[in-house]
């Protein structure tokens, strides 16, 4: 039996622990890139002289991130990895305080499509960003991860909810997701705001705060083969891309290597920092302009480019095998998943699949095909959005996992390491040439 985690395993567990929200993810990712010599560019500043930088990154609204490594010569094509920084959960309302039953409670909005019952009876805390009044009329933002203030959403006792034993637990998201913060005291006026202000030492203007689990990610199973963690969807993909990308060098064949991590995938991507935004187009057009390329040059480059949309995939559940397509079983530990959908919820097509499968076979890496049952709806990723907006050939892949959108999800470290190896090969090796006959 295995005792201690390896360096790769510790890197993943540590990354997830330190990234409770998209803003923490972008902050930590930015610091990792800086350590490897990447320079931060600001969207509000000029990018003239970009050629001498060679490696750089851009953050938008602190929750989306893009990184680039220029080739040694002129740009002929792009290799791009795509992922998202957000996860389903519970986001605090602007005025969250509720007093009921002698208790001081905090109320939340549902963000995305979490498995709500998994948030009950857990030690939770608040994490995210706050904006405060600073000296001289300025506004400052601060990242918070308030692990020292545990909160709990208590479930109704079985004695008071006999029907749940036969029919299963049903939650009303408006009434049943109140987090217990403290006993109610006479002096308890706006306790929540006072507690936050005591941490940042300034008056609060606004905040984006989520209820996140206090329990740390860990390896699970008899042989420590599994990853039991919150936010594995999609921090596992973000970590794999970063791990492979940040140590890459300049390409000698004209390939611009890049990644884009967007926020708000779990709620439709329709925001200034989501995949539906202009972040990709704005960034590439500004890079092209700084390098003396025309719009026509850029469109020509797109047609020679390839993108990987990396997001977690459903493994066949051992207790519910009938919920998966029987001809396409997906198993933990048997490789990364190529995701297919004829309704274009995924960007994969025969062309992009053939390129990936050839590269995987050349690297001796295992892979699996996923397709949803005809009688069940299929989820989507940023892949189809990106492919439609850019015209770049795109493939959807990911690691297989169970309990997707639960407060703790279950993946396999073997698959994570396969994904990292594949991403390294994607960025460093020449892609197969496709010809028509």
Q: pLDDT tens across 233-247, in order?
A: 999 999 999 999 999
pLDDT > 80? residue 434: no
In this prediction, residue 189 has a pLDDT band, given cuts at 50, 70 and 90, of: low
Q: How far, in Å, CA of 359 to CA of 369, rounded?
A: 15
Compute φ and ψ for 103, nearest 5 degrees.
-120, 155
Mean pLDDT of 92-97: 95
CATH architecture of 7-87+230-428: 3-Layer(aba) Sandwich (3.40)
Bridge partner residues of 58 (DSSP)? 41, 66
Query: Region 214-228: what's the mean pLDDT?
Result: 97
Read off the tokens for 398. Answer: 């990911």
End-to-end CA distance of the chain: 53
Residue 185 pLDDT: 77
Residue 86 has pLDDT above 80, yes or no: yes
Q: Is 187's pLDDT higher than 70?
A: no
pLDDT exceeds 90 at position 362: yes
Least confident span in 25-34, 96-105, 205-214, 398-407: 96-105
Please list the residues that pair with 130 across neighbouring strands: 142, 207
**Buried b vs exposed e over 134-167: b needs ≥16 C-beta within 10 Å?**
eeeeeeebbbbbbeeeebebeeeeeeeeeeeeee
- In total, the chain counts a number of residues equal to 437
Interatomic CA distance for residues 306 and 175, integer angstroms? 46
Question: Where is average pLDDT lowest: 73-77, 133-137, 250-254?
Answer: 133-137
State the fold for domain 89-212: Aminopeptidase i, Domain 2 (2.30.250)
Q: Kindly report, residue by residue over 327-358, the tens digit of the pLDDT.
A: 999 999 999 999 999 999 999 999 999 999 99
In the chain, where the domains are located: 7-87+230-428, 89-212
pLDDT band for position 168 (cuts 50, 70, 90): confident
184-193, 370-379, 387-396 — most confident range: 387-396
Q: What does the pLDDT look like over 286-316, one tens digit per residue? A: 999 999 999 999 999 999 999 999 999 999 9
Instruction: Provide the pLDDT confidence category of residue 165 given band limits of 50, 70 and 90.
Output: confident
For residue 6, is pLDDT > 70?
yes
Query: Mean pLDDT over residues 199-203, rounded?
Result: 91
Query: Which residues fall within 8 angstroms of residue 26, CB to CB, at 6 or more apart?
Result: 59, 62, 63, 64, 65, 85, 261
């Amino acid at each position: 039996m295995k005792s201690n985690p390896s360096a790769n395993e510790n890197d993943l567990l540590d990354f997830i622990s330190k990234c409770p929200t998209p803003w923490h993810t972008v902050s930590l990712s930015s610091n990792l890139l800086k350590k490897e010599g990447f320079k931060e560019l600001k969207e509000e500043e000029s990018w003239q002289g970009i050629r001498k930088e060679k490696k750089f990154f851009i953050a938008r609204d602190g929750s989306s991130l893009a990184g680039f490594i220029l080739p040694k010569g002129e740009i002929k094509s792009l290799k791009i990895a795509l992922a998202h920084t957000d996860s389903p959960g519970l986001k605090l309302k602007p005025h969250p305080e509720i007093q009921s039953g002698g208790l001081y409670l905090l109320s939340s909005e549902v963000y995305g499509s979490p498995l709500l019952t998994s948030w009950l009876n857990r030690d939770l805390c608040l994490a995210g960003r706050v904006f405060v009044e600073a000296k001289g009329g300025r506004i400052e933002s601060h990242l918070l991860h308030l692990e020292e203030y545990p909160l709990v959403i208590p479930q109704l006792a079985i004695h008071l909810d006999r029907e749940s034993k036969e029919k299963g637990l049903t939650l009303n998201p408006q009434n049943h997701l109140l987090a217990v913060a403290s006993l109610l005291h006479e002096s308890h006026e706006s306790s929540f705001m006072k507690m936050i202000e005591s941490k940042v030492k300034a008056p609060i203007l606004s905040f984006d705060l989520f209820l996140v689990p206090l329990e740390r990610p860990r390896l699970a199973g008899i042989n420590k083969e599994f990853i039991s963690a919150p936010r594995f969807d999609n921090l596992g993909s973000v970590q794999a891309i970063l791990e492979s990308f940040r140590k890459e060098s300049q390409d000698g064949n004209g390939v611009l290597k890049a990644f884009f991590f967007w926020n708000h995938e779990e709620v439709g991507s329709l925001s200034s920092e989501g995949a539906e935004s202009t972040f990709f187009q704005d960034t590439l057009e500004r890079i092209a302009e700084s390098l003396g390329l025309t719009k026509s040059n850029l469109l020509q480059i797109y047609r020679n480019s390839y993108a990987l949309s990396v997001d977690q995939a459903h493994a066949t559940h051992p207790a519910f095998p009938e919920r998966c397509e029987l001809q396409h079983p997906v198993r933990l530990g048997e490789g990364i998943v190529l995701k297919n959908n004829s309704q274009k919820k995924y960007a994969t097509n025969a062309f992009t699949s053939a390129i990936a499968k050839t590269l995987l076979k050349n690297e001796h890496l295992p892979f699996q095909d996923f397709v949803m049952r005809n009688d069940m709806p299929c989820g989507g990723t940023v892949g189809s959005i990106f492919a439609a907006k850019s015209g770049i050939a795109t493939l959807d892949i990911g690691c297989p996992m169970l309990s997707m959108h639960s407060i703790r999800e279950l993946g396999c470290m073997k698959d994570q390491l396969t994904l990292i190896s594949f991403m390294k090969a994607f960025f460093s090796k020449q892609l197969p040439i496709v010809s028509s006959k």
